[in-house]
């Protein structure tokens, strides 16, 4: 279930788009590693990356939304917290299972779903709001 960043997923805020592109690249690497039978090792790296990524990206995105007085900041914070909870569950499952195929598929699906749904339904509104301020 590989996914690529495409221009239609652009939020219109350069640093947010660049960070999203980085996450899409990692998701594609996870998918590729799984196809090559190296998913278990890469999943551990991916979980570490996501842990760090979410801290930085969500902080940067929320700080930006605060700076423009974005009206749906609370909804974004809740969505970010939900993803972090899901990531914690995924990490726990990885530690307990050792990274089996089902977990690989679950991780890939979670990341792809989050990227496509969250960006297209929530993050794009940040860019629209920011553009309306200009």
What confidence tens digit (pLDDT) does each residue in 39-52 have? 677 777 888 888 88
- 3 in a domain, yes or no? no
SS3 10: coil
Q: Which domain holds residue 20?
A: 12-133
- 1 in a domain, yes or no? no
Inform me whether the pLDDT recorded for 8 exceeds 70: yes
Sign of the dihedral through C-alpha 18, 108, 52, 123? positive
- 2 in a domain, yes or no? no
| pLDDT confidence of residue 50 | 85
Domain total of the chain: 1
The answer for residues whose C-beta is within 8 angstroms of residue 50's C-beta and 6 or more apart is: 26, 87, 111
- 51 in a domain, yes or no? yes
- 72 in a domain, yes or no? yes
- Confidence category of residue 2, pLDDT binned at 50, 70, 90: low
Instruction: Give the span between the Cα atoms of 20 and 18, in whole angstroms.
Output: 5
pLDDT digits (tens, 9 = 90+) for 13-66: 999 999 999 888 877 877 777 677 776 777 778 888 888 888 899 999 999 999
Domain holding 30: CATH number?
A: 1.20.120.50
Inform me whether the pLDDT recorded for 102 exceeds 80: no
- Confidence category of residue 114, pLDDT binned at 50, 70, 90: confident
- 4 in a domain, yes or no? no
The answer for residues whose C-beta is within 8 angstroms of residue 124's C-beta and 6 or more apart is: 9, 10, 11, 12
- 5 in a domain, yes or no? no
């Amino acid at each position: 279930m590989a996914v690529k960043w495409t221009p239609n997923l652009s939020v219109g805020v350069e640093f947010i788009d660049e960070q999203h592109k980085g996450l899409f690249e990692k998701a594609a690497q996870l998918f590729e590693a799984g196809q090559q039978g190296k998913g278990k090792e890469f999943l551990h790296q991916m979980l570490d990356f996501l842990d760090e990524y979410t801290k930085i990206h969500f902080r940067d995105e929320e700080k930006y939304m605060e700076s423009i007085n974005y009206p749906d900041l609370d909804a974004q914070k809740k969505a970010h917290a939900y993803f972090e909870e899901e990531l914690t569950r995924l990490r726990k499952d990885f530690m307990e299972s050792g990274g089996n195929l089902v977990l690989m598929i679950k991780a890939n699906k979670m990341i792809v779903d989050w990227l496509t749904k969250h960006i297209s339904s929530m993050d794009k509104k940040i860019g629209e709001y920011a553009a309306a301020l200009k």
